[in-house]
Structure 1
Amino acid sequence: MKRILIIRTSAIGDIVFASPIAEALKRTYPQAHIAWLVEPGTDTLIRPDPHIDERILWPKAEWKALWRDGRRMEVFRRMRAFRTMLREQQFDVAIDLQGLLKSGVLAWMTGAPRRIGLGSREGSQFLMTEIVSRGGDSARISSEYLYLAQQLGLDTGDFMPQLYLDPNVEARALERLAANGVTPGKYVVFAAFTTRPQKHWFVDAWQKLAPTVKQQTGLTPVLLGGPADREAATEIAAGAPTIVNLVGQTNLAEAAAVFRHAGAVIGVDTGLTHMGIAFARPTVAIFGSTCPYSVTGRDNARVIWLGLSCSPCRRKPTCGGAFTCLRDITPEHVLAELQLAMGKAA
């Protein structure tokens, strides 16, 4: 394995979970050239990683926009050019961590003689030379990627999610915190937002938790999220004056830096929450309709999941919008778990 391409184009949480793969490859093949194919935006999470020699950006959004505008021939032209670029890299191995048709096509485009797919489906299995099932202990964080690494005979080490920061980005994030009167290590990040309502904890729960956390731990609640979360963040912050609302004010890399310097993290099943574990911050992860892991690999990270008979329902809730799996998780329960997490430093 002289030239290796990792394909995991998105999303935030999955890239965090997959992050140990690069280090395992570099540890096993220290002279190899390790590249990672990723979409613009999420690439900022892996850009400072010293184990990755090259980041290749897949302009998926540009291609989709051209397709919507009816410029189909231009899309095909760009696809051919992208394939040519990938083949010129002469990768020996392409490892598809997504296992979807789109990622399988990207692996095929490389022309790599060895194409390894993780749980390949949607037809991508026919584009691979090898398929590794999504095995391992499903309760453990990053389990499927660890299992793949083991099947490939890699030196896995502890195989924990780990992120790296650009010093300039880190400095900007600290400046923003200071401008809002927030001191590094003296705040708790609230990661309250996801793309699916069945993964959201309730507004009134966050509002009740905020002053209690401030009183019991001395940590200032800082709300983080993307531009699309601004309206929901305003609603939460309106009922909790102790919250510092930074939603939509940081890019992804800056948000990662905010997590790195947090005193603690509380969040739902979202990529930002998983950053808390990657940075070994005291973390409480609140799961309801999903439970991607219950074994965090960190003594200072706790998972709350009630395990109701209807959970996990993932994308097909059966509760008519009651989301009892989350409603029955009280602020008092979250605070108790936070105190346990903060009492067990990594």
Structure 2
Amino acid sequence: MGHRKSMKSLFGKKSSEFKILIIRPSSMGDIVMASSMLRPLKLSFPGSYIAWLLEPAYSPILEAHPLVDEIVVWEKKQWQKSLKTGRVFALTSQLLRFSKSLRSKKFDLALEAQGLFRSRLLAWLSGARERVGFCSNEPGRLLMTRMISKGPESKQMGSEYLHMLNEVGAEVGKEFAPDLRVTEQDTATASKKLRRIGIPGKYAVLAPFTTRPQKHWITDRWADVSRRLRETHNISSVLLGGSQDVSKAREIVARSKGTCVSLVGDTTIGETMTIVKEASILVGVDTGITHMGAAFATPTIALFGATCPYLFTSRNNFLVLYHGLPCSPCKRNPTCGGNYYCMEKISVEEVVNAANKVLT
């Protein structure tokens, strides 16, 4: 209660004059989960102004969101280029210009929701009087006015963001979940792309791809799931992913016996969000596309093994399949020699049974 009182009366301002900067520049999945903070912040601080600092590639995730008053684009790659090439003057100039722009907005509160040195630096550059961030082993603690933990051990989706909200006195209701919106333009172009590949009606989304192999499920099983969804529910499956996943997607399509098509590498972030929103069901591994299912209340089956970011969401139609082994979750340091037994233990039958539950 002490935090709640101090934040609501911060520097004697009314909530309608309150300006908040959320700093979560990347990546897609993390931004999706952090979006769960938007509604509680707006409800707790009515009329407040919320800006979100993002890398350019991820700005489409939030550009249609009515609760985000401003997207602040951080040109991270330009800063990195200056640093790597030893262009100290150029980097200093970029820092100063960005800081000047941020400080002109007169933020009251910066929420550093990443726990990295660079995000702490960005919070400090913003000039926000109150700068709250997650504890970690990264340097830059003195750049913040308050460091907080990620909260007690929890299997709730986005539990660290829930804890951050509690720390700044925001009131969270029973439904705490990612919150995304899509544009009319993305809806129109996504619909055209679906029709182009022969999907005029209901469909399932399959999201098999992510950046780390230990988070992948067995390739053959995706084709099996696609065939079973067609047999049981008369729906085709659409594969989604990035351009680096095209060859793997072709392999799944080839084994699916005509029950699966691919838009891998052929959708923008906004179109991907739309396709997830309109899907009858989504089956995916630990990746941003899967987390989007919770944002749009799309019936979702999430397959976790080497990572287990959450077991529970506030969505009744979102099920997590996870077999905890003595070695899991290993996160970035698998010890199984590439066998990934935790993912292998998830059977096709288990996935299909879970799908039947959320589709009935």
Give TM-score scaled by structure 1 length: 0.95
Which residue in 1 is equivalent to 2:290?
273
Compared CA separation, residues 82 and 189, structure 1 to 2 (3 A): same
Q: Mapping of 1:5-154 within 5 angstroms?
A: 5-136=21-152, 138-154=154-170
Q: CA deviation at 1:69?
A: 4.5
1:325 alignment partner, one of 342, 348, 351: 342
Q: How does 1:120-199 map to 2 (within 5 A)?
A: 120-136=136-152, 138-157=154-173, 158-184=175-201, 186-199=202-215
Alignment correspondent of 1:337:
354
- Whether the 8 Å CA contact 1:221–1:244 is kept in 2: the answer is yes
Q: Deviations over 1:1-56 (max 9, x none)?
A: 51111101011111111112122111122222111101112111111111111100
Alignment pair present for 1:263 and 2:280: yes
> Could you tell me which of 247, 268, 282 is aligned with 2:299?
282
Matching residue's letter, 1:212: R
> Which deviates further from its counterpart, 245-254 or 199-208?
199-208
Decide which of 308, 312, 317 is 1:295's aligned counterpart. Answer: 312
1:205 aligns with 2:205: no
Contact persistence 1:138–1:292 (CA under 8 A): no
1:127 Cα shift?
A: 1.2
How many residue pairs get aligned? The number is 342
Moved more, 296-305 or 263-272: 296-305
Instruction: Provide the rounded CA distance (Å) in 1 between the counterparts of 2:71 and 2:198.
Output: 36
Which residue of the other structure, out of 194, 210, 216, is the alignment partner of 2:232?
Answer: 216
Other structure's SS at 1:19 match:
helix
One-letter identity of the residue aligned with 2:108: D
Indicate if the aligned counterparts of 2:99 and 2:125 stay in contact, CA closer than 8 A. Answer: yes
Bigger drift between 260-269 and 10-19 goes to 10-19
User: Residues of 1 paired with 2:316 and 2:260: CA distance?
Assistant: 27
Asked if 1:227 is matched to 2:243, the reply is yes
Q: Is the 8 A contact 2:38 2:179 kept in 1?
A: no
Q: Percent identity?
A: 41
Give the Cα separation in 2 of the matches to 1:207 and 1:105: 46
The residue identity in structure 1 corresponding to 2:78 is E
Q: Report the CA distance between 1:181 and its aligned residue.
A: 1.6
Q: 1:136 to 1:279 in 2, by over 3 A?
A: farther
Question: Whole-Å Cα distance in 2 between the matches of residues 121 and 68 of structure 1?
Answer: 23
Report the 3-state secondary structure (helix = DSSP H, G, I; strand = E; otherwise coil) of the residue aligned with 1:311: coil
AA at the equivalent of 1:154: A
2:56 partner SS: coil
Q: Distance in 1 between matches of 2:350 and 2:236?
A: 19
Contact 1:136/1:146, CA 8 A, preserved across alignment: no
Unpaired segments ≥5 residues, structure 2 = 1-9, 11-17
Whichever residue aligns with residue 144 of structure 1, its letter is: E
Whole-Å Cα distance in 2 between the matches of residues 67 and 117 of structure 1? 25
* Secondary structure of residue in 2 paired with 1:281: coil
Distance, in Å, in 1 between the alignment partners of 2:87 and 2:57 is 24
How far the C-alpha of 1:118 sits from its partner, in A, is: 2.3
The ranges of structure 1 where at least 4 consecutive aligned residues each deviate by more than 4 angstroms after the TM superposition are none
CA distance in 2, matches of 1:334, 1:6: 36
Measured after TM superposition, the shift of residue 65 of structure 1 is 3.2
CA separation of 1:136/1:167 partners in 2, compared to 1, >3 Å: closer, same or farther? farther
Take 1:76 and 1:243, find their aligned partners in 2: how far apart are those partners? Answer: 51
Aligned equivalents of 1:170, 1:319: Cα separation in 2: 42
TM-fit CA distance, 1:70: 4.8
- Which residue identity lines up with residue 113 of structure 1 in the other structure? R
Change (3 A) 1:260 1:120: same
Cα distance in 1 between the residues matched to 2:181 and 2:191: 16
Out of 151-160 and 102-111, give the one that drifted further: 151-160
CA offsets, 1:223-267, max 9 Å, x none?
000111112212222222321110011011110000000000000
Q: 1:182 corresponds to which letter in structure 2?
A: I
State the alpha-carbon separation in 1 of the partners of residues 152 and 200 from structure 2. Answer: 40
Residues 237 and 66 of structure 1: is their aligned pair in 2 closer, same or farther, counting only changes over 3 Å? farther
Deviation for aligned residue 1:136: 4.5
Tell me whether 1:316 sits opposite 2:326 in the alignment. Answer: no
| Distance of 2:270 and 2:105 partners within structure 1 | 28
In 2, Cα distance between the equivalents of 1:50 and 1:120?
A: 32
1:299 corresponds to which letter in structure 2? N
Q: Normalising to structure 2: TM-score of the pair? A: 0.92
